[in-house]
């Protein structure tokens, strides 16, 4: 049976794709070797540079985000190389598993999944590593499973302080275009991104932004690669073409997405996410529920994971909310299965859609007898009605 009304895709990605982007994707497929194609390629590469905040190389894969993780590793490393990773949640764990399966050695700094990467531990480990065993440090900027953000700028300073030559790789799949991120300023070597979150596209494209140091490292990296190879891409892209068939219709959508972000302005985009996140948190606190991320300085502006009361099922709650109100929420992943629900507040949204999602959650919590305090919407509204910066309200 049909569900009336428009679905609210409030998972922390894929996000609600704006209709002009869907329309662009739905325009006819073009000739990727034709004379008009290079202007599309060059246009989106330039626009992506503004989003990654880099003037360096960017590679666009016709593949979803997991592929860009693999690309970062196989372009720069050789079997047996050591990578330093930080356990910030489910996705950092998956990246670690990938690295291990690719034949890399991973040192995994333990974490409790409730905060960002431990910068002090990273710094200590790097300081110890006099011989340069560690070839790369790989961090998830925004842990989509937990709603905690790692401090990439501080990690870069840790590398610099230690004088350590390791490459810095950062997964920004769920932060890019939602949370301020600066590839060049933070001297990140490989930034991994995807289309289906802050970029407001369906899944199907992923990205590597690449430093010159990373390109040099790639020359000696021995993991086999063809599909993911940067140099083929960069060479073909220089003329606006691709070494193999690109995902042309997605690129058509990407062009529109980049124009939209440019039109709104990145500072406005980030501020919109910050306010939505704070509104969500105030609402959650009013309900009497616990925000899973334990470190306020590391709260994510892209999503909030919320712990349900003991003996309650987060998944049953999500199912109720979907049926009752047409809102999809993110499930708990890995060890958080059934314990948290995750509210995505990223991509294309406005106050009305955010408030609608929060109200639907409150309705679902009440209908599920979760013993919450009603009235959370008033708190969310108060945050959104705040003029000017939110710093006071954020505490």
CB of 392 to a copy of itself, least distance (A): 18
Taking the CA atoms of residue 256, residue 24, residue 175 and residue 282 in that order, the dihedral angle to the nearest 10 degrees is: 100
CB of 55 to a copy of itself, least distance (A): 25
Q: Tell me the residue ranges of DSSP E strands in 238-347.
A: 290-291, 303-307, 327-331, 340-344
Closest CA to 50 of 240, 182, 247, 210: 182
Backbone φ/ψ region at 46: left (φ over 0), alpha (ψ -120 to 50), beta: alpha
x/- mask, a copy of itself, residues 352-391, rule CB under 8 A, reads xxxxxxxxx-xx--xx------xx-xx-xxx-xx------
Interface with a copy of itself (CB under 8 A), residue total 105
Residues between 28 and 47 that touch a copy of itself (CB under 8 A): 28-35
Closest CA to 143 of 118, 160, 167, 125: 118
287 counts as binding a copy of itself under rule CB under 8 A: no
Q: How many CA atoms lie within 13 A of 187 on its CB side?
A: 13
Among residues 98, 121, 234, 394, the one that binds a copy of itself under rule CB under 8 A: 98
User: Which among 14-22, 44-52, 158-166, 290-298 is the span making contact with a copy of itself, rule CB under 8 A?
Assistant: 14-22
CB of 270 to a copy of itself, least distance (A): 12
Of 212 and 350, the one with the shorter C-beta distance to a copy of itself is 350
Residues between 224 and 283 that touch a copy of itself (CB under 8 A): 224-227, 229, 244-250, 260, 263-265, 269, 272
* Backbone phi, psi, residue 149, to 5°: -110, 135
DSSP state string for 172-234: -TTTTTTS---TTTTT-SEEEEESSSTT---S--EEEEE-HHHHHHHHH--S--STT-HHHHH
Intra-chain end-to-end CA distance of the chain, in Å:
45
Of 238 and 374, the one with the shorter C-beta distance to a copy of itself is 374
User: Which among 20-28, 50-58, 113-121, 126-134 is the span making contact with a copy of itself, rule CB under 8 A?
Assistant: 20-28
Among residues 17, 58, 60, 72, the one that binds a copy of itself under rule CB under 8 A: 17
What's the CA gap between 141 and 139, in Å, rounded?
A: 6
Per the DSSP assignment, residues forming a β-bridge with 58 are 209
Among residues 103, 182, 187, 213, the one that binds a copy of itself under rule CB under 8 A: 103
Residue with tokens 């909030």: 304
CB of 159 to a copy of itself, least distance (A): 26
x/- mask, a copy of itself, residues 321-350, rule CB under 8 A, reads -x-xxxxx-xx----------------xxx
What's the CA gap between 175 and 270, in Å, rounded?
A: 10
x/- mask, a copy of itself, residues 111-150, rule CB under 8 A, reads ----------------------------------------
Closest CA to 307 of 293, 286, 290, 294: 290
Residues between 166 and 195 that touch a copy of itself (CB under 8 A): 194
Contacts of 29 (CB under 8 A, 6+ apart): 248, 249
Of 154 and 270, the one with the shorter C-beta distance to a copy of itself is 270
What's the CA gap between 300 and 331, in Å, rounded?
A: 16
Of 56 and 326, the one with the shorter C-beta distance to a copy of itself is 326
CB of 121 to a copy of itself, least distance (A): 26
User: Which among 3-11, 131-139, 151-159, 212-220 is the span making contact with a copy of itself, rule CB under 8 A?
Assistant: 3-11
**Per-residue burial over 297-320, b = 16 or more CB atoms within 10 Å of its CB, e = otherwise:** ebbbbbbbbbbbeeebebeebbeb
CB of 135 to a copy of itself, least distance (A): 16
CB of 71 to a copy of itself, least distance (A): 9
Among residues 47, 49, 198, 204, the one that binds a copy of itself under rule CB under 8 A: 204
Of 32 and 213, the one with the shorter C-beta distance to a copy of itself is 32
Q: Under a CB-based contact definition with an 8 Å cutoff, are residues 117 and 88 in contact?
A: yes
Cβ neighbours, 10 Å, residue 275: 23
Of 119 and 256, the one with the shorter C-beta distance to a copy of itself is 256
Residues between 49 and 78 that touch a copy of itself (CB under 8 A): 61-67, 69-70, 74
């Amino acid at each position: 049976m049909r569900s009336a009304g428009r679905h609210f895709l409030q998972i922390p990605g894929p996000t609600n794709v704006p209709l002009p982007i869907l329309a662009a994707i739905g325009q006819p497929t073009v000739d990727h070797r034709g004379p008009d194609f290079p202007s599309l390629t060059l246009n989106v590469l330039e626009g992506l540079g503004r989003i990654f905040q880099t003037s360096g190389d960017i590679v666009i894969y016709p593949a979803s985000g997991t592929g860009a993780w693999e690309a970062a590793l196989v372009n720069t490393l050789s079997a047996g190389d050591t990578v330093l990773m930080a356990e910030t949640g489910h996705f950092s764990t998956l990246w670690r598993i990938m690295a291990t399966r690719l034949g890399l050695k991973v040192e995994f700094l333990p974490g409790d999944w409730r905060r960002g990467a431990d910068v002090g531990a990273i710094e200590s480990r790097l300081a110890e590593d006099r011989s340069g065993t560690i070839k790369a440090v790989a961090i998830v900027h925004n842990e989509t499973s937990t709603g905690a953000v790692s401090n990439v700028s501080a990690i870069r300073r840790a590398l610099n302080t230690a004088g350590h030559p390791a490459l810095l790789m950062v997964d920004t799949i769920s932060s890019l275009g939602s949370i301020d991120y600066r590839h060049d300023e933070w001297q990140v070597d490989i930034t991994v991104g995807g289309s289906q979150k802050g970029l407001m596209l369906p899944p199907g494209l992923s990205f590597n932004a690449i430093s010159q140091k990373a390109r040099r490292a790639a020359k000696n990296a021995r993991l086999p690669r063809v599909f993911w190879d940067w140099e083929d891409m960069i060479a073909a892209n220089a003329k606006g073409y691709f070494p193999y068939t690109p995902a042309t219709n997605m690129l058509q959508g990407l062009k529109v997405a980049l124009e939209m972000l440019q039109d709104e302005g990145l500072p406005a985009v980030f501020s919109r996410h910050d306010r939505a996140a704070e509104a969500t948190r105030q609402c959650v606190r009013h309900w009497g529920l616990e925000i899973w991320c334990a470190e306020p300085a590391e709260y994510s502006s892209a999503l909030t994971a919320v712990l349900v009361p003991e003996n309650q099922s987060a998944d049953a709650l999500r199912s109720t909310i979907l049926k009752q109100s047409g809102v999809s929420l993110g499930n708990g992943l890995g060890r958080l299965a059934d314990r948290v629900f995750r509210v995505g507040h990223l991509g294309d949204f406005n106050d009305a859609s955010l408030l609608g999602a929060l109200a639907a959650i409150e309705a679902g919590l009440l209908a599920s007898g979760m013993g919450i305090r009603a009235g959370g919407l008033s708190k969310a509204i108060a945050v959104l009605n705040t003029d000017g910066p939110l710093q006071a309200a954020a505490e």
